[in-house]
Amino acid sequence: TQLLEQSPQFLSIQEGENLTVYCNSSSVFSSLQWYRQEPGEGPVLLVTVVTGGEVKKLKRLTFQFGDARKDSSLHITAAQPGDTGLYLCAGVGGTASKLTFGTGTRLQVTL
């Protein structure tokens, strides 16, 4: 079973602070995705990283895929209350390109 461990599990910060979420696995994935999920809704895709060492930026969010394609990080600069939510990484692999979701990081940004 492929496991994706995220850290931290929970993060409560104030508006304007920076943060980094980590996603680690012992398995290699063909690609890795990051999602944000709000309560009572399905997850929404933020980004897909494919190449080892790849860095992608989405406004204040910076995503990095590890060189060995086993880990990834999400860095948020100047967090805002609208960034509050559950952040999930998901590794893509297998014959059906199944998603294996990470354990999740719950972010709360307060004023």
Asked if residue 64 lies in contact with residue 26, where contact means CB atoms within 8 angstroms, the answer is no
At its nearest, how many Å lie between other proteins and the CB of residue 13? 19
Q: How far apart are the first and last CA of the chain?
A: 40
Binds other proteins (CB under 8 A): choice among 28, 44, 55, 78: 44
Binds other proteins (CB under 8 A): choice among 66, 85, 91, 104: 104
Task: Kindly tell me which of 3 and 78 has the beta carbon lying closer to other proteins.
Answer: 3
- 46 touches other proteins (CB under 8 A): no
Asked if residue 54 lies in contact with residue 67, where contact means CB atoms within 8 angstroms, the answer is no
- 24 touches other proteins (CB under 8 A): no
Q: Which two tokens stand for residue 45?
A: 């895709």
| Phi, psi of 83, rounded to the nearest 5 degrees | -85, -10
Q: Is 82 helix (H, G, I), strand (E, B) or coil?
A: helix
Q: What number of chain residues touch other proteins (CB under 8 A)? A: 21
HSE-up (13 A, CA, CB side) for residue 75:
9
Binds other proteins (CB under 8 A): choice among 24, 48, 73, 108: 48
- 7 touches other proteins (CB under 8 A): no
Residues engaged in binding other proteins (CB under 8 A): 1, 31, 40-45, 48, 88, 92, 96-104, 106
